[in-house]
Copies of this chain bind each other. A is one copy, B any other.
Amino acid sequence: MTVTSSTMPTKERILGAAEELFARHGFEGASLRQLTAAAGVNLAAVNYHFGSKDRLIEEVFRRRLDQLNGRRLAALQKIAGDPDTTIEDVLGAFIVPALELSHDGNGSLFMRVLARAFAEHDDTLRKFLSENYGHVMRQFTAEFGRLLPRLSKEELYWRVDLVTGALTHAMSGFGMIQRKSDVPEHRHREQTAEHLIRFAAAGLKSP
């Protein structure tokens, strides 16, 4: 199951095992001893390479979020402000990069880690996420606002928040997003994106 091969450098082996165990057992539930055992490295390696468990948690987020939000913003830049752009386009820019995560390594597990971060009301973690990646949500919200001009600011925040909840829930794999064996991976991803976009667009545009 683990994607941490013995040929990888120690740091990445730790990050891979951490992502998997944090997704499976939570940040407090996964111990450094389980984690280093799964990664096949010495217990002290975590504190040597990352300084502490908390910094390791941050690094798990940074590695994926830099890539994920980079792609999201790149996709948004291409369409933002364009008069032909639809709500569905903006939702696609937000959703598709997240679904693509499930491609490389155990990136799909990361969405579960992200869902846990939402559930944790830990201030340190929330502050870290808000400071480093809050601007992404702000840019997407601004573009939604441009496309839904008759919504009050309050209404807009409400709906974006509900969309976030639905997508986080769905993409972290609680739902029944199970690919059937006769459907190729990329086609399944397209269908998933269509489902999510159609649902979210209807909610955003609701009268």
Contacts and interface: CB of A to CB of B under 8 A. Distances in A.
Copies in the complex: 2
A108 to B, nearest CB: 13
Contact of A202 (B23, B176, B196, B206): B206
B162 A196 contact: yes
A160 to B, nearest CB: 9
A166 to B, nearest CB: 4
A203 interface: yes
- A-side binding surface: helix, strand, loop or mixed? helix
Interface stretch (A6-14, A39-47, A93-101, A116-124): A116-124
Given A203-B200, A203-B202, A206-B201, A162 B157 contact: no
Contact of A199 (B168, B175, B196, B203): B203
Nearest to A161: B175
A157 B176 contact: yes
A169 interface: yes
Contacts of A195: 158, 162
A51 interface: no
A118 B203 contact: no
A28 B28 CA distance: 6
A26 interface: yes
Interface string A106-136: 0000001001101111000000000000000
